[in-house]
Amino acid sequence: MSFTSSLRWAFFVSMDQDKDISGAEAIQRIRNLKLLPGATFGIRFITCDLNRDKHGEIRIYSNCQIRPAMRSETLKVDPDHYLFFKDIENKENRQCFKILLRAVCLPPDHIWYKVNWFQ
């Protein structure tokens, strides 16, 4: 296991798994952050890249901002299925499938919540 992998695993294990949030509430609260200038959130999700045979990795971004989809982003799937965000640390635009969202860290207290889609 590489240092990066072990660091991600330690981060995952240290998250407070006692707090749950429904998937719909997590998405709504993230969308509402665009009303607060400079508000950031964190997400953990499972990857699924339809353009390449690459999927199943867990990605964690701890400093993100919500963003709209750009016209240049051509997607095979309806954009309503995606969550578009900007990774502040790397200054890169990213997206993930909403249903593959597994945890969110929301302001003002920045506590990690486990996303439960089947409540």
pLDDT tens digits for 1-21? 433 433 343 344 445 456 899
Tokens in use for 111?
């506590």
Taking Cα atoms as reference points, which of 40, 43, 48 lies closest to residue 108? 40
pTM: 0.77
* pLDDT at residue number 80: 84
Average pLDDT over residues 48-56: 76
* pLDDT at residue number 73: 67
Could you give the 3-state DSSP secondary structure of residue 113? Answer: strand
Q: How many residues does the chain have?
A: 119
Between 117 and 49, the higher pLDDT residue = 117
First-last CA distance in the chain:
34
Could you give the 3-state DSSP secondary structure of residue 65? Answer: strand
